[in-house]
Amino acid sequence: MAAVIRALASVDATAYRALRLEMLALHPDAFTSDADEEAQRPLAWTEQRLATAPDKPHDLWLGAFDGEALVGCVGLSGRYRAKERHNATVVGMMVHPRARGQGLGERLLEALLARARALPTLTQIDLTVTQGNDNAQQLYERAGFTVFGVHPAAIQVGGRYYAKVLMVLPLREVGA
Ligand SMILES: CC(C)(COP(=O)(O)OP(=O)(O)OC[C@H]1O[C@@H](n2cnc3c(N)ncnc32)[C@H](O)[C@@H]1OP(=O)(O)O)[C@@H](O)C(=O)NCCC(=O)NCCS
């Protein structure tokens, strides 16, 4: 698929919200966010989420577009307390079922990591993936992420608990 990957902005809020609500409902155990809870939020919340903010330089969203249609996205969410500013988390990785298995997830992740490496104060990236979501975990392992722990019963969906695998990718030497 000749999809184009570009940064998302507030103008993409309607498309991003629609993709996200569909994916949260389709894969409730893959995400910590809940489809019903998120559907209650107004479009303005999504617009705010996609807006760039000077005080949050590590927050960004990328989208994959097949023509005009948003078919995938991934985000980076920074942490801004002084002692942990060098960390950011990959969030909201999703590719619509009709666009999967063609390398879009990998392209989105690589594009996000390229932008993360260009941020001088960022030294490592972390993420969580539901235990058993092997497609996603393998995607992250191919990009260089390694497992550093497991959070038992991290989320509860429909009365069942799921563990989250914790992964990290150093972007540069930190000498720790
Ligand atoms: C996880 C997810 C984002 C992967 O997206 P994707 O676009 O299918 O990812 P890729 O195409 O890059 O890789 C997926 C597979 O396709 C294969 N692939 C990549 N390019 C390919 C191509 N051109 N032709 C055929 N297969 C290809 C990859 O080798 C990979 O195989 P694997 O599953 O055996 O490891 C997607 O499945 C998804 O949205 N899942 C539901 C939500 C979710 O779990 N999100 C992660 C939350 S942590």
pLDDT tens-digit series, residues 63-112: 999 999 999 999 999 999 999 999 999 999 999 999 999 999 999 999 99
- List the one residue out of 86, 4, 96, 91 whose CA is nearest residue 49: 91
Mutate which of 100, 108, 131 for ligand 1? The one with the most ligand atoms within 8 Å of its CB, which is 100
Residue 173 pLDDT grade (very low, low, confident, very high; cuts 50, 70, 90): confident
Q: Encode pLDDT of 125-138 as tens digits.
A: 999 999 999 999 99
Burial zone of 112 (CB within 10 Å; 0-12 exposed, 13-18 middle, 19+ buried)? buried
- CB of 95 closer than 6 A to ligand 1? yes
Residue 38 pLDDT grade (very low, low, confident, very high; cuts 50, 70, 90): very high
Token pair 């990328």 is found at 62
- CB of 132 closer than 6 A to ligand 1? no
Q: What percent of the chain has pLDDT over 90?
A: 96
| Nearest atom of ligand 1 to the alpha carbon of 138 | 35
Q: Please compute the mean of the pLDDT values over residues 141-170 and round it to a whole number.
A: 98
More confident residue, 141 or 2: 141
- CB of 27 closer than 6 A to ligand 1? yes
β-pairing, 4-7 vs 60-66, is antiparallel
- List the one residue out of 126, 124, 22 whose CA is nearest residue 72: 22
Give the end-to-end CA distance of the chain in Å, rounded to a whole number.
41
Domains of the chain, first to last? 4-170 (3.40.630.30)
